[in-house]
Amino acid sequence: MNLSLRSSSVLDGTTHVDLATSTVRELNGALHALKPDTNETLWKIANPRGLHAIAAGLDLPVSVEIDGPVGYYCGGMNKQARIIIEGTAGVGVAENMMSGLVHVKGDASQAAGATGNGGLLIIDGNASARCGISMKGIDIVVKGSVGHLSAFMGQAGTLTVLGDAGEALGDSLYEAKLFVRGTVAGLGADCVEKEMRDEHKALLASKLEAAGILGEVDISEFRRYGSSRTLYHFHVDNVSSY
Amino acid sequence: MNDITNTPRTTPRASATFDEYTLSEIRRAAATGIYDIRGAGAKRKVPHFDDLLFLGASISRYPLEGYREKCSTEVLLGTRFAKKPIALKIPITIAGMSFGSLSANAKEALGRGASAMGTSTTTGDGGMTNEERGHSTQLVYQYLPSRYGMNPDDLKRCDAIEVVVGQGAKPGGGGMLLGQKITERVAKMRTLPVGIDQRSACRHPDWTGPDDLEIKIEELREITDWEKPIYVKVGAARPYYDTALAVKSGADVVVVDGMQGGTAATQEVFIENVGIPTLAAVRQAVKALQDLGMHRKVQLIVSGGIRNGADVAKALALGADAVAIGTAALVALGDNDPHYAAEYEALGTKAGAYDDWHEGRDPAGITTQDPALMARLDPVAAGRRLANYLAVLTLECQTIARACGKSHVHNLEPEDLVALTIEAAAMANVPLAGTDWIPGRGGNF
Ligand SMILES: Cc1cc2nc3c(=O)[nH]c(=O)nc-3n(C[C@H](O)[C@H](O)[C@H](O)COP(=O)(O)O)c2cc1C
């Protein structure tokens, strides 16, 4: 048991932390202090009550299961860890994630997975505006719908949406790949629908498989969106888009 | 019939409004259909530290001996919340300039020069390189809207974090890096295709406004276990309110960058027309800290057009804790050096005026990614020049401080200053020389 935590207990190899009596600082401090050979590999967090930066900056293959809603930046900059949120997530869940898994069982607020470099973010409910903004290699699977400006300036990675997408999807997109099953309210500047070839179907299938829903949805129902790359160079003909 | 040849003629007169530069810009715009992009800061003349003078000692104030009596220069940054504040030996830091806009050799030289003098360098809009980490004893890691190259490992190996909200050259604008400079290495660090004209975001992707910023800073502190100082950098636009909001958001240090501040590449119209001069920004930022009872508790770094020890001393006298330099540091490394006069001319410019840094053809090997040009800059020798220059800035600042009777450069105060112009007096909130008149006194600032 970690001594810096005021209220934690270890039962059956599971560390229990109650955020009604321990602080986020104590929790994160204890998680950051874990050694690579730790046997405290499963953490159950009670009473998260929308607190911010829960389980931010982890860098070990541990599991953190959070029982309830979290505030901003839960799992921020995650590396390796598996973070499960049994509730809704505030702004910037899994922002700048490097690797590992963040799974939101409820809805997520704005900028979910923002700037993520790697790892997998699964959102069972809906994600709000700017989901995957400036994404840099993360894979995001949203089972519901995403709000406006999702994948804005997306540089790399995939955004898969089983529901609908809001206005200006993929605005100023670089090389991120977007798959949407439902309707798209509008495409942003430089974002176009692209042909769904076999390699893209295989890529989508691999993401659905990672999210544990391969076979539950029909891949042929998805459309692919990507960059038309016309804004890659400053050009007089593109002035209206600048 | 009049004899034209014998009629006296007036001298050809150029228009003050449509001057030579303006005419050339109209022609350039007409030919290309796209705005002018360039590096460096505002080139127009604006009220600046030159418009202030120190009073020095007299019968009622006594000075310190120039070479004997101590005049300290050390600065502690991040004393508010950080477990490990940054201790600098001199009140002059190297401002954030990205690898990408600058060559790897230039970044290394900045690290060498700054480290030799016991001060810090700063990364930029393109991530941290091993060269600069290795050669900088104290390295500030910028957290920018683009988040290019941002990762928790570098966050943990930096010495302080600077959340960049804006830059003096372009408050409200994002960065630019044109294709010539997006080489394979630069592209990889930024996760971008090679050779594209890159535009960085101008807003942070996952926070808006001071309430969010507070939570963002809390997250960065959590990730780094509350060890590192967190700076917030703003372009000088509304420095009173921006400083107050940065303090409210939990910043340890506020960086205010005036409109003369350099940039790697921005639209000319932006550089020259958006933001306020450094001189006008300092007092407002200091006033905000004083009104909150946070002056010296949250440290203030001022940048934008700092060139010599007098500028440093004046910024400190107005209430800053330290200054940051960009352009001057590049010049010390060798930027715009007359040594390459012929090559600057071949580029259609001249030594001293070269500002097409975005094109990546810098003869001095500083604002380039071209391996041949870059090889011209010896990072050891250039680092030595920067260290010398920083030493001179420090000596000059101490010279003035001693003349004003101060045993620490932080003891310089507005009462040591007068202004040469009414504008400068109003902006700096010090009396016009020879009078006790401070124009605008009684206003809110
Ligand atoms: C080549 C160059 C690159 C710059 N890159 C950045 C950057 O990446 N991030 C940033 O916050 N400021 C950047 N700046 C601005 C500097 O950090 C600093 O605010 C400015 O240079 C200070 O003004 P001075 O050049 O008059 O000293 C850059 C400036 C220059 C000259």
pLDDT surpassing 90 at residue B215: yes
End-to-end Cα, chain A, rounded Å = 56
Contact (Cβ atoms closer than 8 angstroms) between residue A191 and residue A209: no
pLDDT digits (tens, 9 = 90+) for B262-320: 999 999 999 999 999 999 999 999 999 999 999 999 999 999 999 999 999 999 999 99
Q: How many CA atoms lie within 13 A of B65 on its CB side?
A: 4
Alpha carbon of B206: minimum distance to chain A alpha carbons (Å)? 5
pLDDT surpassing 90 at residue A11: no
pLDDT surpassing 90 at residue B36: yes
Residue having the nearest C-alpha atom to atom 9 of ligand 1? B124
The whole-chain average pLDDT of chain B stands at 96
Domains of chain B: 54-428 (3.20.20.70)
pLDDT surpassing 50 at residue A74: yes
Closest ligand 1 atom to the C-alpha of B40? 31
Question: Residue type at A41?
Answer: T
Cα separation of A4 and A26, whole Å? 6
Contact (Cβ atoms closer than 8 angstroms) between residue B271 and residue B310: no
CA proximity to B418, closest of B405, B403, B406, B428: B428
Q: What is the pLDDT of residue A13?
A: 80
**Which of B167, B336, B366, B367 to probe ligand 1 with, by most ligand atoms within 8 A of CB?**
B167
CB pairs under 8 A between A and B: 105
CA B168 to ligand 1 center in whole angstroms: 8
pLDDT band at A36 (very low <50, low <70, confident <90, very high): very high
Q: What is the pLDDT of residue B180?
A: 86
Q: What is the pLDDT of residue B137?
A: 98
pLDDT band at A6 (very low <50, low <70, confident <90, very high): low
What average pLDDT does this structure show over A223-229? 97
pLDDT band at A240 (very low <50, low <70, confident <90, very high): low
The whole-chain average pLDDT of chain A stands at 95
pLDDT digits (tens, 9 = 90+) for B144-169: 999 999 999 999 999 999 999 999 99
Q: Shortest CB distance from B152 goes to which of A25, A57, A134? A: A57
B86 Cβ closer than 6 Å to some ligand 1 atom = no
Residues 139-158 of B with CB under 8 A from A: 146-147, 150-152, 155
pLDDT surpassing 80 at residue B86: yes
Please indicate, yes or no, if residue A2 is contained in any of the structural domains: no
Contact (Cβ atoms closer than 8 angstroms) between residue B49 and residue B311: yes
Alpha carbon of B263: minimum distance to chain A alpha carbons (Å)? 19
Q: Tell me if chain A has a CB within 8 Å of the CB of B192.
A: yes
Range of the domain at A99: 8-241
Q: What is the pLDDT of residue A239?
A: 63
Dihedral sign, CA of A56, A58, A61, A67? negative
Q: Shortest CB distance from A98 goes to which of B152, B201, B205? A: B152
pLDDT band at B68 (very low <50, low <70, confident <90, very high): confident
B315 three-state secondary structure: helix
pLDDT band at A3 (very low <50, low <70, confident <90, very high): very low
Q: Shortest CB distance from A96 goes to which of B34, B147, B199? A: B147
pLDDT surpassing 60 at residue A1: no
Q: Taking CB atoms and an 8 Å limit, are B32 and A110 in contact across chains?
A: no
Lowest average pLDDT, out of B1-10, B38-47, B421-430, goes to B1-10
Please indicate, yes or no, if residue A51 is contained in any of the structural domains: yes
Alpha carbon of A89: minimum distance to chain B alpha carbons (Å)? 13
Please indicate, yes or no, if residue A3 is contained in any of the structural domains: no
Q: Shortest CB distance from A111 goes to which of B193, B205, B226? A: B205
Q: What is the pLDDT of residue B440?
A: 86
What average pLDDT does this structure show over B43-63? 96
B250 Cβ closer than 6 Å to some ligand 1 atom = no
pLDDT digits (tens, 9 = 90+) for A114-157: 999 999 999 999 999 999 999 999 999 999 999 999 999 999 99
Q: Tell me if chain A has a CB within 8 Å of the CB of B30.
A: no
Percent pLDDT > 70 in chain A is 95
- Nearest chain B residue to A239 by CA: give it: B34
B64 φ, ψ (degrees, to nearest 5)? -105, 150
- ipTM value: 0.95
- Nearest chain B residue to A152 by CA: give it: B205
A180 three-state secondary structure: strand
Regarding beta strands B417-419 and B52-54, do their DSSP bridges make them parallel or antiparallel, or are they unpaired?
antiparallel
Tell me whether residue B200 is exposed, middle or buried, using C-beta atoms within 10 angstroms of its C-beta: 0 to 12, 13 to 18, 19 or more: buried
Contact (Cβ atoms closer than 8 angstroms) between residue B137 and residue B158: no
Lowest average pLDDT, out of A61-75, A187-201, B4-18, B403-417, goes to B4-18
CA proximity to B389, closest of B85, B114, B31, B179: B114
Helix intervals (H) in B301-438: 309-317, 327-333, 341-346, 371-374, 379-403, 422-428
pLDDT surpassing 50 at residue B254: yes
Please indicate, yes or no, if residue A79 is contained in any of the structural domains: yes
- List beta partners, residue A191: A227
Q: Taking CB atoms and an 8 Å limit, are B215 and A72 in contact across chains?
A: yes
Please indicate, yes or no, if residue A179 is contained in any of the structural domains: yes
Question: Considering only CB atoms, which chain A residues are within 8 Å of B150?
Answer: 96, 115
pLDDT surpassing 90 at residue B253: yes
Please indicate, yes or no, if residue A170 is contained in any of the structural domains: yes
pLDDT digits (tens, 9 = 90+) for B95-107: 999 999 999 999 9
Q: Let me know the angle formed at the C-alpha of A9 by A5 and A10, rounded to the nearest 5 degrees.
A: 125
Q: Tell me if chain B has a CB within 8 Å of the CB of A152.
A: yes
Contact (Cβ atoms closer than 8 angstroms) between residue A129 and residue A109: no
What average pLDDT does this structure show over B385-392? 98
B256 Cβ closer than 6 Å to some ligand 1 atom = no
CA B302 to ligand 1 center in whole angstroms: 12
Instruction: Give the DSSP per-residue string, B29-64.
Output: HHHHSS--EE-S---S----GGGEEE----SSS---
Please indicate, yes or no, if residue A80 is contained in any of the structural domains: yes
Q: Residue A91: which CATH number? A: 2.160.20.60
B165 Cβ closer than 6 Å to some ligand 1 atom = no
Please indicate, yes or no, if residue A153 is contained in any of the structural domains: yes
Note the pTM of the prediction, 2 decimals: 0.96
pLDDT digits (tens, 9 = 90+) for A79-88: 999 999 999 9
> How many independent structural domains does chain A possess?
1
pLDDT surpassing 90 at residue B5: no
Q: With b meaning 16 or more CB within 10 Å and e meaning fewer, what string describes B272-282?
A: bebbbbbbbbb
